[in-house]
Amino acid sequence: MMMKPDTSNPVAGTSPNLLVATIRKPWIWSYLAALLAFLATMVLSGGQGALSLLYAALTFASFSVMVGIGQMFVITLGPGNVDLSIPATMTLVATLSLKFMGSEAGLILPGFLIALIVGLGCGMFNFALILLLRIPPIIATLSSSFLYQSLAIWSNRGLRIKPPEPLAEFSTSGVLGLPNLALVALLLAGLAWVVLERAVVGRWVLAIGQNLRAAQLSGVPVHAVRFCVYVGSALLAAVTGFLLASFSGGANLNMGAEFMLMSIAVVVIGGSSIAGGNSNVPGIWGAALFMFLLVSMLNSYGLGAGVRLVLTGIIIVTVVIVASKRKHSA
């Protein structure tokens, strides 16, 4: 008589299944890559400065996480959706808000409101180009970025205004060993996860990315959802630019340049589908940490920015190819 496996103990057999389920998570690979980059850096440095490196990784990865969340929502809308105006929006927001505050501590809150209003305006303008003029998103956001950058140049006029002291202190300090910037990024990531996993709007975003026509026929307010996504991306870019200028001691015209590629890289490496319809919030943190630790590792080995950009491009292409093969084999 064949004996049936004992399933009365719910704990039995859960560890292997849990391990397999974890390995299958697309975000796990970004964290493993970050761990390998960290270990490679520690090998070269002889294990010195591990805590300092982790603190710096959390600090600088926070900026990539914040813009990456906004870019993730845009990319999730489906092929052709990408926000290339993020760097220029960051620069314009930082320039105008710091110029308004003029290093006065009493103007921090109004200055932050200015940042949000400018970000809101950028997002609305981007979507107006897309909806009203029917310009493809990649062209619309690239075109608007030139306008935003020109406005930043006109308003900046070569001046570098320092942020108010309390704001600079907040952006460069931490609580319980964690940078304040990382706590802000964690909060925003948590909100993004709730929207995608628990809110109706999140399901609408995923539905549009998976099948636009089907989403329209099922009653999803496509234009309203796309409007919210593009405005949300601009607002996150605004918050990032405001905090980055506060952290770095002022705004400059090139402060957002690296985030055009970085905002896309953390989305792709983090496990979100470049074809849309699938988002991965935890993976953005893993990818952002990996990108910073990769730079640290390359710097430790004496390699420059050119090599970093080449490796970043290779990594993105590799991830896209692997993801495409998985999709076709599924």
18 contact partners, CB below 8 Å, separation of at least 6: none
pLDDT score, position 127: 97
Asked if residue 122 lies in contact with residue 234, where contact means CB atoms within 8 angstroms, the answer is yes
Residue 320 is predicted with a pLDDT of 63
Confidence at residue 45, expressed as pLDDT on a 0 to 100 scale: 76
pLDDT at 309: 72
**Residue with the two structure tokens 């560890």:** 15
* Structure-block tokens of residue 170: 């907040």
What's the predicted TM-score (pTM) here?
0.88
pLDDT at 238: 97
Question: What's the fold here for domain 53-329?
Answer: ABC transporter involved in vitamin B12 uptake, BtuC (1.10.3470)
Mean pLDDT of each 10-residue bin along the chain, 330 residues long: 49 57 72 88 80 93 96 94 96 94 92 97 97 94 96 82 93 92 96 94 94 93 97 97 94 89 89 86 92 82 71 72 56
Q: What is the pLDDT of residue 172?
A: 94
pLDDT score at 103: 86
Which residue has tokens 């089907």?
214
Q: How many CA within 13 A on the CB side of residue 106?
A: 0
Give pLDDT, residue 322: 66
Domain parsing of the chain, residue ranges: 53-329
